[in-house]
Structure 1
């Protein structure tokens, strides 16, 4: 299942997403997009997308700017 890994101890599925999935989503959405658009593209919740995007931003790979009540994310560089 995309974005799902099976925990070896419990056998339950755990959700994991990789930075590349978020970076690819931004690129596929014309190089800039809001959190909800990225979440929909990756297939995760808004909360998960926001947390992951903030983490990626801290690494310097993307940047955000506030537009109204939304954050717009774009690839740094």
Structure 2
């Protein structure tokens, strides 16, 4: 519930899951689709997509196009 979540200094809600929890969900489902990660954590696909793209920019995960699907892997 959003009423239980903490806000950061700028007033934004703190993420429900840490980067490591997102990475672990990718690792468990590799190659992991965005929806698979969302289902693993029980959060919206859009939220997971946003977080995965941030992790991609930081070099923690890699993306790959397989057919029409985008999948994620943990960077080594």
Aligned to 2:28: 28
The 1-side partners of 2:23 and 2:44 are apart by 16
Aligned to 2:38: 39
The 2-side partners of 1:55 and 1:44 are apart by 16
Runs in 1 of length 4+ with deviation above 6 angstroms?
none
1:15–1:41 CA distance, 2 compared to 1 (3 A) = farther
Following superposition of structure 1 onto structure 2, how do residues 53-72 of structure 1 map, counting pairs within 5 Å?
Answer: 53-72=52-71
Higher helix share: 2
Q: 1:70 Cα shift?
A: 2.1
Unaligned runs of 5+ in 2: 8-12
Higher strand share: 1
Aligned to 1:10: none
C-alpha deviations, 1:2-33, integer Å up to 9, x for none? Answer: xx6245xxxxxx5622111111101222x321
Aligned residue pair count: 68
**Normalized against structure 1, the TM-score is what?**
0.75
**Normalized against structure 2, the TM-score is what?**
0.75
Aligned to 1:73: 72
Unaligned runs of 5+ in 1: 8-13
